[in-house]
Chain A
Amino acid sequence: MFKDLSIKRKLYLGFGAILAIILALLIIAYNRFNSLSEANQWDRHTMDVIQAIDGLRNDLLQVQVEARGYYLTGTAARLDRTRKEQRDIPESIQTLQKLTRDNPAQVTRFSKLESMITVWSKEVIESQLVMREQLGNAPGAADAMGKTPQLASTANSAIGEIYKFMDDAAAEEHRLLLERSAASTSLQESMRLVITVGGMACVLLGALVAWLLVGSLTTPLTNLTAAVGRIARGDQGARAEVLSNDELGKVTTEFNRMAQSIQDSQAKEKAVSDELRAKVDSLLGVVSKAASGDLTGNIEVTGSDAIGQLAQGLDRMFENLRSLLNNVQKAGIQVTTSATEIAASAKQQEATGIEQAQTSVEILSTTKEISANASQLLKTMEEATAVADYTTTATADAQGNLRRMDSTMQHMVSATDSINAKLAALSEKASNINSVLITITKVADQTNILSLNAAIEAEKAGEAGRGFSVVATEIRRLADQTSVSTWDIEQMLKEMQSAVSASVMGMDKFSEEIRRSVGEVRQVTDQLSGVMDQVQKLAPQFDAVLQGMQSQAVGAEQISATMMQLNDATQQTVESLKATSEAVHQLQYAAGDLQTSVANFAVAV
């Protein structure tokens, strides 16, 4: 528990304990002093009482003295003084009673004394005073007085009792005084003892506290110093023991942690340097392999530190070198292949040149055949020209016939128009007939009604009208017949009119067709004219073809000559191709050398 406290608290606690012991000692000493002073006060009180008793005796003596003076002299001044002294006595007794209130035995004693004094004062002093007053200034008064019993006998008087009583009280007080001074002496003794023993205890306790404090402060420091010394000597695992929980304990803990972290960091540093060395070794191995020409070494070091970046750079460099060498090897192979291909194609070209020469000869013979064919074509063209001439004349005849047909058509159109006009006239006449027929119908109708009314009238006339009735019937029959005939005519007229309309329509259609035919004939004529023009144009074109043929023959001869020149050129080409072949062979050798020199590098990964 004491170990868990901080240094400050330890100090407070130690000094607090010392202070508490001193305080306890002081309180005890103070108490003793208080008791001692009380005892002294009691001593003084006792002395006061003794003094007051002496005062009272003195007062009594004074009263006796004054009274006796009065007895002797009988002067009024003496009497007054006696009275005055008498008056002081109760006061003195009261003072005594006040002082001895704490002692009941003394109080009763003093009350008894008071009554005794009162009795004495009344019986002895007052009676004598009165006696002396009565004597007055009579001579011998003083003697008389002296002869009184009260003055004469001293032994057995009241005042003697009083004095004896008072001596008892004083003896009592002296006894008390002795008792009290003995108590105060014992008190002084005990106080000396307390101061001596308490002071020694204080010194001892202070020494103990100091020893404990020094122990708790110096032990951890010693431990710490020893641990530091061990670490300085190289013992990395040295640690100070933690003895307490105070500031020094914390310092020790922190020191231990510091020592641990130093140890850890040293271990880490060692691991890092080991790793670095391993990386550098691996890099060195790869670089050594590369120096001897083996580029297949793979760099396995990674990281973002300087070594990692160096490794990455080396890796990139090797990669570039590998790809460069690969490219160089590929290029060598390609150059070799190309050279071989060039040589082959040069040989092929040589063969082609020879073939070309042969082909030129064949072309020459073909050209001769072409010129023979051209002369045959010439004959055929002449025959075609004759046929074209014949076609021209035949077309001209057809054109003439068509023109005649056209004029006939025109005649037909005019005839159709006149027929149409006549039909229109016919239609008009029919309309006239129609109006006449309407008139006839009306008349017949009127006649019908008339005959009907006539029949009615005849009937009303009775026998006289019988003949008239017959006539009326006859008239009615005629009228009916007229109606019927008129209706027939009307029908016929209608048929005629419709026939005329149909004819008109037919004629219109017919003339339309004729007009269309005329147009077609004209079109045919025009087309024939076009044909004729084309045919007439054919003859000069045939001439142009003839001329072309002739120039073709000439061209064929020119081709022959050109082919001869071409043959010569081909020969020259063949020779230059042989020279090219030679150069390509040399290129092939060079490419082979390049390949072998690059092959020394191993690049396959």
Chain B
Amino acid sequence: MKLLVFHIGVDRYGLRLRDVVRVVPLLDLKHLPLAPEPVVGLMDYHGASVPVVDLCLASGLPPGADHFDTRIIVVDYRAPEGTVHLLGLRAERVQGVQEVRDDQLTESGVKAAPFLGQVAGDARGMLQMVELEQLLTPALRIALFPNAGNAGSADDSGNLP
């Protein structure tokens, strides 16, 4: 299984490559005043407006700094209803793709943030999986995608497997 590796704070995290749509450089975002906490703005992705969530803010850390390898990872977010939405994740130090075997993954055993999954260890230290489905809380999900039921089929039919 291949993972896209990035940092939240000082620790390394991985995202399944099948969920990733595209990695884009850091660009100017349209700000959303009075938006919920982790949402930092809207981005224009080939004409579609995509909400962007700062992973640092989502993890309860201070907002991430603008480094040269700070990127926006565009992912397919599958809601529990089955609809799929494009979602931007602001991540620091996006390093590249890494192969992780399934037997390397073990349960962390510690109840932390809901979106943190299994961990794997290697020469460069521990790496923890980010479970995309658990990333947004129900309230945040309704705030970001209010009409999930009827809007998803028109836009995202092409991206479905």
Contact = CB atoms under 8 A, between A and B. Distances in A.
B23 A449 contact: yes
Interface in A432-462: 441, 445-446, 448-449, 452-453, 455-456, 459-460
B96 interface: yes
Interface in B58-82: 68-69, 71
B24 interface: yes
Contacts of B20: 456
Interface in B125-148: none
Which of under 10, 10 to 19, 20 to 34, or 35 or more describes the interface residues of A?
Answer: 10 to 19
Which of under 10, 10 to 19, 20 to 34, or 35 or more describes the interface residues of B?
Answer: 10 to 19
Interface string B69-108: 1010000000000000000000000101100000000000
A476 interface: yes
A455 B99 CA distance: 12
B161 to A, nearest CB: 10
Contacts of A460: 17-18
A445 B22 contact: no
B4 interface: yes
B17 to A, nearest CB: 5
A456 B68 contact: no
Nearest to B21: A456
B96 A455 contact: yes
A452 B23 contact: yes
B36 interface: no
B18 A476 contact: no
A150 B69 CA distance: 222
Given A445-B68, A449-B24, A453-B23, A459 B17 contact: yes
Nearest to A445: B68
B96 A456 contact: no
Contact of A456 (B22, B25, B71): B22
A397 B59 CA distance: 88
Nearest to B71: A449
A219 B153 CA distance: 183
Interface in A505-548: none
B2 interface: yes
A93 B69 CA distance: 200
Contacts of B23: 449, 452-453, 456
Contacts of A448: 69
Contacts of B69: 448
Interface string B3-29: 010000000000001101011110000
Given A456-B20, A459-B18, A460-B18, A449 B25 contact: yes
**Residue in A445, A452, A460 whose Cβ sees the most chain B Cβ within 10 Å:** A452
A455 B2 CA distance: 10
B17 A456 contact: yes
B94 A452 contact: yes
A453 B2 contact: no
Contacts of B2: 459
A441 B20 CA distance: 25
Given A449-B23, A449-B25, A452-B23, A459 B68 contact: no
Given A455-B96, A456-B4, A445 B18 contact: no
Contacts of A445: 25, 68
B24 A459 contact: no
A524 B2 CA distance: 84
Nearest to B22: A453
B86 to A, nearest CB: 15
A439 to B, nearest CB: 14
Contact of B97 (A441, A449, A456): A456
A476 B96 contact: yes
Contacts of A453: 22-23
B135 to A, nearest CB: 19
A459 B4 CA distance: 11
A554 B23 CA distance: 121
B73 to A, nearest CB: 10
Contacts of A455: 17, 96-97
Contacts of B97: 452, 455-456, 459, 473
A448 B71 CA distance: 11
Contacts of A446: 25
A455 B94 CA distance: 14
Interface string A446-489: 10110011011001100000000000010010000000000000
Nearest to B97: A455
Contacts of B68: 441, 445
A176 B69 CA distance: 200
Interface in B22-43: 22-25
B74 to A, nearest CB: 10
Nearest to A455: B97
B16 to A, nearest CB: 10
B88 to A, nearest CB: 15
Contacts of A476: 96
Given A446-B25, A448-B69, 20 more contacts: A441-B68, A445-B68, A449-B71, A452-B4, A452-B23, A452-B94, A453-B22, A453-B23, A455-B17, A455-B97, A456-B4, A456-B20, A456-B22, A456-B23, A459-B2, A459-B18, A459-B97, A460-B17, A460-B18, A476-B96
22 contacts: A445-B25, A445-B68, A449-B23, A449-B24, A449-B25, A449-B71, A452-B4, A452-B96, A452-B97, A453-B22, A453-B23, A455-B97, A456-B4, A456-B17, A456-B20, A459-B2, A459-B17, A459-B18, A459-B97, A460-B18, A473-B97, A476-B96
Interface of B: 2, 4, 17-18, 20, 22-25, 68-69, 71, 94, 96-97
Interface of A: 441, 445-446, 448-449, 452-453, 455-456, 459-460, 473, 476
Top 8 A-B pairs, shortest CB-CB distance: A455-B97, A459-B17, A452-B23, A456-B20, A459-B2, A453-B23, A453-B22, A449-B23
